[in-house]
Structures are given as C-alpha cells and as structure tokens.
Amino acid sequence: MTSKSSRNARWGLIGSYVVLLLVSLLYIGPLLMLVNTAFKTLPEFYQDPIGLASSFNFDNFTEAWELANFPQYMFNSIIYATVATVIFVITSVFVAFPIARGHIRGARALLTLYVVALFLPPALIPQFQLILNLNLYNTRQGYILLFLVNAIGMIVLVNYIKSVPKELDESAAIDGCSYPRFVFKIVMPLIKPAIATVTVLHAIGIWNEIILPTIYLTNSDLYPITRGLVVFEGVYGSNWPGLAAAVLMLALPMVILFLVLQRYIISGLTGGAVKG
Amino acid sequence: MALVNKQYLFGRKITPVLFLLPGLLLYLVIAFGPSLATIVYSFTDASGIRGAVVNWIGFENFDEFLFRGVASRDNLDALKRTLQFMFFVTALQFGLGLLFAVILNQNKLKGRLFFRTIIFMPVILGVVIQGFLWKLFLLPRGGPMAEVWGWFGLQSEFLGGTDAFWWVIFIQIWANVGITMVIFIAGMQAISDELYDAAKVDGASGWQLFKNVTWPQLTPAINTNFLLNIIGSLQAWALFLVTIGYKNGTQVLGYLVYAEGFGQTSGSVTSSFRQGYAAAASVVLFLLVLVLGLSANWFVTRREMKYMG
C-alpha cells in the first residue's frame, strides 16, 4: 500500500513539472521575446522576429530615451507615485487604526463604507465633473488627487491591525506621548508588512495606470510614462525594437521595487497569519 | 505641564476622530461620493463640457441605451459579451489559480518560489506592458505563436482577427491568475498540518486529502477568489484598450462607458462627450455586478454553512 501511494506521489510530482514547463513557456516566453527584441536592429527584427539578437545593441534604449521625452515622463510618474502613495498611506493608517481597534463610534459602519466600494458603479464620470469644476483638469495636483484613496488598501490595513494583539500598542501608549506621535512611532512599526504591501500595490497601480491619464492629462509635459509609451507607440508603431526598449525601461523600476519588498507582500495580504 | 496636557488630549475621544477626518473626507469626496453620483448623472443629459446646462431627463438614457437607440442592438451585444467574458475568465482563472496553488504548495517541489514569482509578475507589470508583451508574442507574421500555429498548419491574425475577443480573455487570465493563486496558497498555508496527518493515518490518498481536508478548509480563500473574480472580470476592460482598441464586435460594457463618456468611440478622435448616457451605461453595469455579486455571495455563504457549520 505504501509503495502504491508513493508511486502516486511520484506521478503527481512529474505531472506538476509538466504543468510548470507549459507555464514557464507562457510566462517567460513573452519576457524573453521582449528582451531579445529590445536589442535588435529594425531590419534584423523584420527579417526574423524570433531569431536571437546578433549583439548587445543599446541604441534602441538611448534612442527611445531621447526621442520620446522619457526623462520627463519618468520624472512625472515618480512624482505621481511617491506623492500620492505617501499621502494615501499616512491618512489611511489614521483611518484604519481607530476603525480596527473600535476606538471610535460607528467603526463597523465606516468599514462597511469601504467594503461596498467594491460593488458600486465606477466613479469615472462624476469624478471628471468634480476635477473639472475644481479647476484641476490637466494639472499635476488634480491628477494626484485621484490617487489619494484606495478601498482595498484600507481593508488590508484594517484586517492586519486587527491581527496585531491590542496589548502591544496599548502598553506602549501610556507614557504620555501625543496621538500622532503614537501612531507614527508605535503603530506603524507594528504593521510594517501591511504598510509595505499597501505601498507597493498602490504605487504600482499609479505607475501602471493608463485610463486616467488619457482622460485627465492632455498636456504632454504632464504625461506619466505609460501614457508617453502609448503615444510613442502611435508614432513609432512599427518600430518594435524601439518600443520593446521603452517598455523595458517602464517596467524596470516596479520590478525592482517588487522583488525587494516581495517577502512582505504575502504576509501583509493575509494578516500575518501565514507560515513561511 | 505640557506632558499632562498632551496626555489629556490623547485621552479624549475626539483626537482619533480629528486625525481620521482627512482620510475619510478624501475617500468620500473622491471615490464614494462620485460613485453614488453616477446614479444621479444617469438621469441627466450631462455632456462633460464646462458650463453647459444639465437637464433632468428621467429614464431617457436607459430607454435609449437598452431599447430605442440606434446602438441599442450593439449595446445588448456588449452586455452579452460582458457576461461571456465574466464567465470564462472567472471559471478558468479560478480553476487554474487553484491548480497552480496546489502544485506550488508542495514542499517537495523545487523552484516553488521562482514559479510563484513569474506567475505573479504580470500583476506587477501592469496592463500596458501585459498588452505589449502579447502583441509582440502574437505577431501574426513570424511571431513565436504564429510559428507554433504554423507547425500544425494553422494561421491566425490573433489580436487583429475575428478571434481577438478570445485572445483578450486568454491574456486577462494569464495576467491575473497570479492573484488568485497567491490567495489560494495563503489559504492552504493556514490549514493546520495535524488535519493532514490525521487523515493520512486513516489511509487517505492524495485526492482524498484534497477533497476532505483542503477543499473544505479552504473555504475563506475560495469565497474571496470567487467574488473577486466575478466582480473584477465584469469591470475589467483596460486590456481591450491596449490590445485592440474600440472595435466593433469586441466591446464590453466598461469600455463602452469610457468611450461614450469621453468621446473615444472612433479611435483616438474625440467625438461627442455623452456623460449622462455613459453614466446610464455604468449603472447597467453596476446592476449586473450587484445581481451577480449578491448571488455569488448567497451561494458561498450557503456553502460556508455546509462546511463550517
């Protein structure tokens, strides 16, 4: 009986590797194609799209960087992502903490307010009218304003704080420090995984956003890098190697951020209840 | 003295409320309020042009959208397509997410973390890059997929052809199955080893372990994924924007709202902004989300009672 079940287990493992082989082809294949294309010259690409690049030719990168006004777009994206994420995370911890601890009346109702957002109709149109009437259409401030809230991020923070024993922050609170100081010095360090998760997910969301910049930003000096890339794509539509180089430059900062903070993300998402 | 004062402030119930207000107000003004206001806008002829007069026109937008308008036929097709998109994305993403989680939760498996990372990677890359990667990979002339198709004597225009809608479904699943998988893995790791050990002592096989331990114990993750997949796929449309654009025969409701509301119906050329009409379309989408989301919720709650008592 043991031999039969161990034989089954072996077949299970072999089956797993077969599935993973297919998965690798579909997940690594497109990435390899992208990197390979970015190093090709245009004639080389059109002659044989899937052949290996003949040399490490960085011309596409320098060309895309200069042609497409990339430094400006990159700067804009960094500003949008950092400013909005910092404001969002700080204001949200001050909302999530009293809700999770029940320090305020109607804590449950407030949390519900965030949960129902998942079901509500998209805010797209009234939001546009709001920004228009605030005179913030086509401005950096107006664009940043759109990213100062995130219902899912709030729910993640509340759930995580609930999983931290009350005694940890309450015992630290007695020695007479002010409330904001208490939140910054005691609460935030206790919920680091959740803050890392929410920061990464929110910043990545802003970095990758494409719909809102096409609605709110018409001045190309204000474009984030995604919008710049789509415009670049319209102009250099058939220059796949140039586009591939630009796409790689767009992806790199977020991939690095993700790999650095990856360890925190899963434990942050699951309320710290996860083993290894 | 100052110390006492601060202590007093912190001790007062009002202090946490004061510090909570900025975040809450931002949420109400930027997200929650506008979401609800969509319903109000759907009964008006708002245009999106500043200073234009807005009139209350009752159910006219809905009537035009669903029944009377020249485009109502197309709109109903878009509605049907949205449901189709939801069905296939939810079913496949849920199934594959579970399969990947089962595979990548085996301790004996080498390279688990590597595979989890690559499957999750598209989530990090975002929709513009997801779209670009597949436009490149699905290049009809000489691209890798065209090459594979060629081995079987097949030919396809992929994202440029009549099957474009199905390729977007494929990319949507490819891009988001990582989230489903991570939620399942987290759920599996919360299951205590003792339950498995006890079942093994009783001589349970791999399949029986899954059926009698993993599946019932995984209930919270199953519920989360089921709901997130249904709601997410009903509202998803950005991949259509980056891979094929607004093209007849592929539109889903979310894209329709954007196109009508911001005048993108004819490519990138700005035609008219019909924001009241677009708001009506988003209310139709909202009702779809509400009905399907609530039924799904009812379904999972019943299931939960069966397993969790």
CA angle, corner A93, sides to A91 and A97, nearest 5?
Answer: 130
What pLDDT does residue B267 have?
Answer: 45
Average predicted confidence (pLDDT) for chain A = 87
CB contact under 8 A, B39 and A121: yes
Secondary-structure class of domain A69-269 per CATH: mainly alpha
A179 with B9: Cβ contact below 8 A:
yes
Cβ pair B235, B245 in contact under 8 A: no
Of all residues in chain A, what percent carry a pLDDT higher than 90?
A: 47
Burial class (CB in 10 A: 0-12, 13-18, 19+), B121: buried
- Residue A56 three-state SS: coil
Q: Does the beta-carbon distance from A20 to B103 stay under 8 Å?
A: yes
Which tokens in the block code for residue A223?
A: 């474009």
Please report the pLDDT score of residue A174 as a whole number: 63
Instruction: Check B118 against A130: CB less than 8 A apart.
Output: no
Facing B31 at nearest CB: one of A37, A123, A208 = A123
| From A7-21, A150-164, B259-273, the region with the lowest mean pLDDT | B259-273
Q: With 50 as the cut, is the pLDDT of residue A6 above it?
A: yes
Whole-angstrom Cα distance, residue B100 to residue B185? 9
Out of B48, B189, B286, closest to residue A121 by CB: B286
Can you give the pLDDT at residue B248?
A: 82
Please state the domain extents for chain A. 69-269
Q: Is the pLDDT of residue A112 over 80?
A: yes
Q: What are phi and psi for residue B44, nearest 5 degrees?
A: -125, 175
Q: Which residues of chain B have pLDDT under 50?
A: 1-9, 266-270
Two structure tokens written together for B283 = 């209310």
Total length of chain A: 276
Question: Between chains, do A5 and B32 touch, taking CB under 8 Å as contact?
Answer: no
Tokens read off for A55: 């040399």
Q: Which of A12, A122, A178 sits opposite B206 (nearest CB)?
A: A12
Give residue-wise pLDDT tens across range B161-178.
889 999 999 999 999 999
Q: Which residue has the tokens 């989408």?
A: B285
B279 Cβ contact partners less than 8 Å away, ≥ 6 residues apart: A125, A126, B38, B39, B41, B42, B44, B46, B61, B257, B261
Enumerate helices (H) and strands (E) in chain A, giving the number of each. Answer: 15, 0
Residues with Cβ within 8 Å of B201's Cβ and at least 6 positions away in sequence, in order, are none
Instruction: Answer whether A247 sits within 8 Å of B31, measured CB to CB.
Output: no
If we measure between CA atoms, which residue out of B125, B33, B27, B234 comes closest to residue A149? B27
Mutate to test the interface with A, among B27, B181, B294 (most CBs of A within 10 A): B27
d(CA B87, CA A111): 30
> A58-82: per-residue pLDDT in tens?
888 988 888 778 889 999 999 999 9
Q: Assess B56–A contact: CB distance below 8 Å, yes or no.
A: no
B30 touches A at CB < 8 Å: yes
Q: How far is B71 from chain A (nearest CA, A)?
A: 21
| Assigned token pair, A212 | 């809102």
pTM for the whole structure: 0.90
Per the DSSP assignment, residues forming a β-bridge with B56 are B44
The pLDDT of residue B268 is 44
Q: How far is CA A256 from CA A244, B22, B121, in A?
A: 18, 32, 11
Residue A67: per-residue pLDDT: 76
Determine the pLDDT at residue A157: 93
Does A163 score more than 50 pLDDT? yes
More confident residue, A43 or B309: A43
Q: Are B139 and A180 a contacting pair at CB < 8 A?
A: no
pLDDT for the residue A176: 67
Q: How far separated are the first and last CA of chain A, in Å rounded?
A: 32
Q: How many CA atoms lie within 13 A of A238 on its CB side?
A: 4
Which has more confidence, B86 or A47?
A: B86
Cα–Cα distance measured from residue B94 to residue B102, given in angstroms and rounded to the nearest whole number: 12
Domains by residue range for chain B, with CATH: 2-41 (no CATH), 69-308 (1.10.3720.10)
